[in-house]
Amino acid sequence: MTPPEQVLPGQMLPVAVDEVPPVELGPGVRVRTLPGMPGIRPWVIDLDPGAVWPHLDVHEAYGEAYYVVSGEVIEGDRVHGPGAYVAFGPRTSHRPRTETGARAFGFNYDVPA
């Protein structure tokens, strides 16, 4: 069952993340879109060992952040392991990759910072 795009006012919406159908963005890169609220788009990303984000992820006017749940996400020459919180402000770009595989919970902001 695919969850709705947004949580409505006065609504509590529990979601079993692993039951949300993933969308393959590239080889070994899968995203599960979770219900958000106006201005925030949450997601869970799963990266297989050796996976690289399929393109440069550019954040022009809005930011993005993620929390590494398991494995390691590599950004440039920095390795972020479980428990790491990584935030990107507007006018940033990155191309995450992993050697070990990883799961991260994150969100994109759809309003200017």
pLDDT at 86 over 60: yes
Distance CA 86, CA 36 (A): 19
State the pLDDT at residue 3. 60
pLDDT confidence bin for 60, thresholds 50/70/90? confident
State the pLDDT at residue 1. 47
pTM of this prediction? 0.89
Distance CA 78, CA 75 (A): 5
> Is 77 exposed, middle or buried (CB count within 10 Å of its CB: 0-12, 13-18, 19+)?
exposed
Q: Which domains does the chain have, with CATH numbers?
A: 28-109 (2.60.120.10)
- The mean pLDDT value for 46-68 works out to 93
pLDDT more than 70, % of the chain: 94
**Contact (CB, 8 A) for 71 and 59:** no
